[in-house]
Amino acid sequence: MKNALHKRQVLEDVVKEVIGRLSEDKLAEVFDFVSYLLTREQREEKGEELDPEKDPILKYIGGVSVEPFAHKIDEMLYGEED
């Protein structure tokens, strides 16, 4: 147990030191990622799963794989093929 606490403290110290050297933009990205991790951890602890009924945007996952959205999407995004 003591070894795990020591390892955690070392990791926290290293992360704090590295974060201190980041630009404000990169620090904001770190904050976004940490927020995501905390939210995911809370969801896992509660045993929650993604539910399209609670989050309607989930109903549209994969929606761009059907016509007319997917038709020649690479050409539209990246230009004409060689």
- What pTM did the predictor assign? 0.51
pLDDT at 5: 92
pLDDT in tens, 25-63: 999 999 999 999 998 898 888 887 777 777 777 777 766
Domain count, the chain: 1
Q: Which residues contact 25 (CB under 8 A, 6 or more apart)?
A: none
Burial label for 38, CB within 10 Å (0-12, 13-18, 19+), is exposed
Residue 76's H or E segment, with its range, is helix 73-78
Domain enclosing residue 69, as ranges? 2-78
The mean pLDDT value of the chain amounts to 82
How far apart CA 36 and CA 50 sit, in angstroms, is 14
